[in-house]
Homo-oligomer: A and B are copies of this chain.
Amino acid sequence: MERKAGTLFYSCSLLLSLILIPLMWIALDFLHLCILGLDCSQDASKMGAVSSPILGIESFEAENQVRGTRQNFLHNGTFHEAVAPVLAVAQFFCIMPVSGICAVTHRGLSFSRRSWRFWYSLLYLCSTSVDLMFSIRKVFHGVLDVRSVEPIVFHVSILVASWQFLNLARLWPGLMHHWAAVEDRLPGYRCCRDRDRLARRIQLVAFLLLALSLMEHLLSIISVVYYDFCPQRSDPVESYLRGTSLQLFSVFPYSNWLGWLGKLQNVLLTFGWSYMDIFLMVLGMGLTEMLARLNRSLEQQVRRTMPEAYWTWSRTLYRSIVELIREVDDAVSGIILISFGSNLYFVCLQLLKSINTMPSSAHAVYFYFSLLFLLGRSSAVLLFVSAIHDQARVPLRLLRLVPSEGYHPEVSRFAAELASDQVALTGLKFFSVTRQLYLMVAGTVATYELVLIQFHEDEKSWDCELNDDD
């Protein structure tokens, strides 16, 4: 009887989640339009004047000046503006304590050790460290193998990533300054829809992933609470909270407030883990868009005979984008290594677990949703970040279409530089994130999986006695 009610509730929650996601997105979008109230028509005329960077060198200069004065507008299509909501969410979850993310221009950004955001982040780092200690203690009291170290890998990767984000917050104002300087030199957008596009895409991807992450977390709670077959305590809430923070309650006696604290920590960690990937995707989109804007300009001009100044302009512009990418890489390559490494570990682990028999169909639904979400997110981050490399190779192809008459020494230099460039974000310089990496990672996962399965026996991880050692 009760079981049936549970199933009903479960299906409802699932449906609700599925409905909530698009609703959230629409609401967000609506809010966006309302607050910012962009008037498209009046802006288009101004943009039109500067959208043809082929008229001569003066126009490039002119454009920059025009754009310089236009920065007091609300909607300027900058990355700083587009990324603001994503960073705001992060700060809500104690990550990236940089001030002024919602400022009109990047000049409002600052990082200070005396702001509350900084101390908030530091507190989070400390509590995570403490949690890690308890987890290590718990793991070393059991048997060690590739699966039992899961909580340690989870905690350590998030701890190091949070520390990296703290460091990134310090560099963020300088980085955004450099970014804006390069953005100013880019050819203008043709209309306001183009200008809006980046922000909309970034926010769509970020909130879709956040919503999916939330949904996965809800499913996990539902499947544990409503299908609890290890009723350690009569109270389902206590039983759930105890299960979430086993590492704490194997040391301390159970108390409600500690349980809720543990749950809070658990939510923050889960978010931090997803946020790494989301942030990298957003960065990837931002950098790809810059290269794409240059490529769109080149695409139009490349078959004509252009003056040499055009090629000097495009070459130095490309170079400054590449230098920006290098600077971004210096700041985030640590996060990339952690993100890719932990994704690789968890994909292997979840695939390994997929052979287990599930205790109930609710658990099965949760497990397969979680596995698909993990695979999808891991693929997405790789593809979004590797798009930088793909876009950076495009000009090489375009330069080959330049007619002989317009093949100035500048074009030749541009082509030679492109041919020997390797533009991509890297994992601490150990590997470049390119599309070819996908296949290598997939092959590695397949190989490790085949070997790991041999050690694996269905270890009845749903057995009540095993998980519960208080």
Instruction: Tell me, in angstroms, the Cα distance from A317 to B319 when the chains sit together.
Output: 26
Whether a CB of chain B sits under 8 angstroms from the CB of A417 is yes
- Chain A 324-347, CB-CB to B under 8 Å as 1, else 0, gives 001000000000000000000000
- Chain A 434-450, CB-CB to B under 8 Å as 1, else 0, gives 01101100011011101
With a cutoff of 8 Å between Cβ atoms, the chain B residues found around residue A396 in the complex are 420
Are B429 and A435 within 8 A (Cβ)?
A: yes
Whether a CB of chain B sits under 8 angstroms from the CB of A412 is yes
Copy total for this chain: 4
- For window 189-227 of chain A, which residues contact chain B by CB distance below 8 Å? none
Closest Cβ–Cβ distance, residue A19 to chain B (whole Å) = 25
Are B401 and A407 within 8 A (Cβ)?
A: no
Whether a CB of chain B sits under 8 angstroms from the CB of A234 is no
Are A430 and B436 within 8 A (Cβ)?
A: yes
With a cutoff of 8 Å between Cβ atoms, the chain B residues found around residue A420 in the complex are 396, 415, 418-420
With a cutoff of 8 Å between Cβ atoms, the chain B residues found around residue A326 in the complex are 397
Whether a CB of chain B sits under 8 angstroms from the CB of A413 is yes
With a cutoff of 8 Å between Cβ atoms, the chain B residues found around residue A446 in the complex are 448
Whether a CB of chain B sits under 8 angstroms from the CB of A237 is no
- For window 294-321 of chain A, which residues contact chain B by CB distance below 8 Å? 312, 319
Are A407 and B415 within 8 A (Cβ)?
A: no
Are B443 and A443 within 8 A (Cβ)?
A: no
Closest to A414 in B: B400
With a cutoff of 8 Å between Cβ atoms, the chain B residues found around residue A413 in the complex are 407, 412
Number of interface residues of A (CB under 8 A): 42
Whether a CB of chain B sits under 8 angstroms from the CB of A42 is no
- For window 127-150 of chain A, which residues contact chain B by CB distance below 8 Å? 144
With a cutoff of 8 Å between Cβ atoms, the chain B residues found around residue A355 in the complex are 144
Given A390-B429, A431-B439, A435-B429: A415 in contact with B416 (beta carbons within 8 A):
yes
Are B438 and A430 within 8 A (Cβ)?
A: yes
Instruction: Tell me, in angstroms, the Cα distance from A415 to B416 when the chains sit together.
Output: 9
Instruction: Tell me, in angstroms, the Cα distance from A413 to B259 when the chains sit together.
Output: 68
- Chain A 386-412, CB-CB to B under 8 Å as 1, else 0, gives 000010000011001100100101101
Closest Cβ–Cβ distance, residue A445 to chain B (whole Å) = 12
Are B430 and A439 within 8 A (Cβ)?
A: yes
Q: From the candidates B404, B416, B450, name the one contacting A451 in the complex (CB within 8 A).
A: B450
Whether a CB of chain B sits under 8 angstroms from the CB of A452 is yes
With a cutoff of 8 Å between Cβ atoms, the chain B residues found around residue A452 in the complex are 450
Instruction: Tell me, in angstroms, the Cα distance from A337 to B390 when the chains sit together.
Output: 18
Closest Cβ–Cβ distance, residue A307 to chain B (whole Å) = 13
Whether a CB of chain B sits under 8 angstroms from the CB of A454 is yes
Closest Cβ–Cβ distance, residue A150 to chain B (whole Å) = 17
Q: Which of A407, A443, A450 has the most CB of B within 10 A?
A: A450
Instruction: Tell me, in angstroms, the Cα distance from A326 to B398 when the chains sit together.
Output: 13
Closest to A408 in B: B404
Closest to A320 in B: B401
With a cutoff of 8 Å between Cβ atoms, the chain B residues found around residue A450 in the complex are 448, 451-452
Q: Which of A418, A452, A454 has the most CB of B within 10 A?
A: A454
Given A355-B144, A454-B454: A416 in contact with B417 (beta carbons within 8 A):
no
Given A451-B450, A452-B450: A417 in contact with B417 (beta carbons within 8 A):
no
Instruction: Tell me, in angstroms, the Cα distance from A407 to B411 when the chains sit together.
Output: 13
Are A415 and B417 within 8 A (Cβ)?
A: yes
Q: Which of A326, A355, A420, A444 has the most CB of B within 10 A?
A: A420
Instruction: Tell me, in angstroms, the Cα distance from A239 to B437 when the chains sit together.
Output: 48
With a cutoff of 8 Å between Cβ atoms, the chain B residues found around residue A312 in the complex are 404
Closest Cβ–Cβ distance, residue A311 to chain B (whole Å) = 9
Closest Cβ–Cβ distance, residue A417 to chain B (whole Å) = 5
Closest to A417 in B: B400
With a cutoff of 8 Å between Cβ atoms, the chain B residues found around residue A400 in the complex are 319, 322, 417
19 further A-B pairs in the complex, CB-CB below 8 A; given A407-B409, A419-B419, A450-B452: A312-B404, A319-B401, A322-B400, A323-B401, A326-B397, A412-B413, A412-B416, A415-B416, A416-B419, A420-B420, A429-B435, A430-B435, A430-B436, A431-B439, A446-B448, A447-B448, A450-B451, A451-B451, A453-B455
In order of increasing CB-CB distance, the 10 nearest A-B pairs are: A419-B420, A450-B451, A430-B439, A429-B435, A400-B417, A312-B404, A430-B438, A431-B439, A319-B400, A430-B435
Report 5 cross-chain contacts, Cβ distance below 8 Å, ordered by A residue.
Answer: A319-B400, A322-B400, A415-B420, A430-B435, A454-B455
